[in-house]
Amino acid sequence: MREAARSRLPRSVFDFVDGGALDEVTLARNRRDFDELELHPNYLVDVATVSTATSVLGTRIAVPIISAPTGLQGLVHHDGEVAMANAVHRLGSIYTIASRPTYALEEVAARAAGPKWMQMYVSPDRDRVKSTLRRGREAGYSALVVTIDGPRGGLRERDMRSGFTIPPRVSLRSIASGVRHPAWTAGFLKYQRYVPAIDPPGPDGNAVELLSERWARQLDASLTWDDLSWLRDEWGGPFLVKGILRVDDAVRAARIGASGVIVSNHGGRQLDGAPSTISVLSSIAAAVGDELDVILDSGVRRGPTS
């Protein structure tokens, strides 16, 4: 799938999806630490009938896989979040819409009938936060995923080198890349799903800007655990804390009443030098696994089946 994406997408879009922060040390750790795991099979066990079903936050799902919140999906393909949500629902699982989708919360909800969660970065504008929470509740999103590992936007040097911006900047290089990727370009021009549907306009409307600049305007760098408690009360339903890498943070999430924690380093796209998630998962699960649901994010590529 990664190689198919490389051939279909312009280089700047592929690098936006594929890349990590700075030297991509954490991105490499995520993959490497999974590769170093060993499977110790217990054979001569009856596996003629196997079920992968499980429950998360009380919802029964057919596979132990939930879609991670991923923004700007319409930039990769014009069907974007709607297509992803329907694919996840066909699999029998839960779709999580990102804080910066290219389809509005309501449109995804109307076109994808399965279970859905809503992810949020907390804006300094608390009235806007409350409005988004209300829209999510009214559209039928059943749980809130609060991402805490973004007090600042990650410095993604691949994006800086390629000149990746939102909206994409028109240049001779981007035009040439568009000609080399006609299928992507046709969808891009026809549907124009490349600006977050939920973002307010910047100081210059929807002027071209680096993603890190857009984040700097919209993320509350002063966010604390007290704000999470406020957010919990405003939401009034199940909520998960995403970006947990430490046992003490997981314990604190349990204490404020979180329904679950998502052990995540943002796919290596935020803090370069953070540990891989698989390396800290067992200690976090041991500390809070009896109190709330523990979900792993970052580093998953495939599952051996033989």
- Which residues have a catalytic role annotated? 266
Contact between 295 and 263 (Cβ < 8 Å):
yes
Exposure string of 130-159, with b = 16+ CB inside 10 Å and e = fewer, is eebbebbbebebbbbbbbbbbeebbebbbb
List beta partners, residue 147: 242
Exposure string of 103-123, with b = 16+ CB inside 10 Å and e = fewer, is bbbeebbeebebbbbbbbbbb
Please provide residue 47's backbone torsions phi and psi, each rounded to the nearest 5 degrees: -120, 25
What is residue 120's DSSP assignment? E
Contact between 129 and 123 (Cβ < 8 Å):
yes
Q: Which two tokens stand for residue 89?
A: 């629902």
Distance from C-alpha of 131 to C-alpha of 214, rounded to nearest angstrom: 20
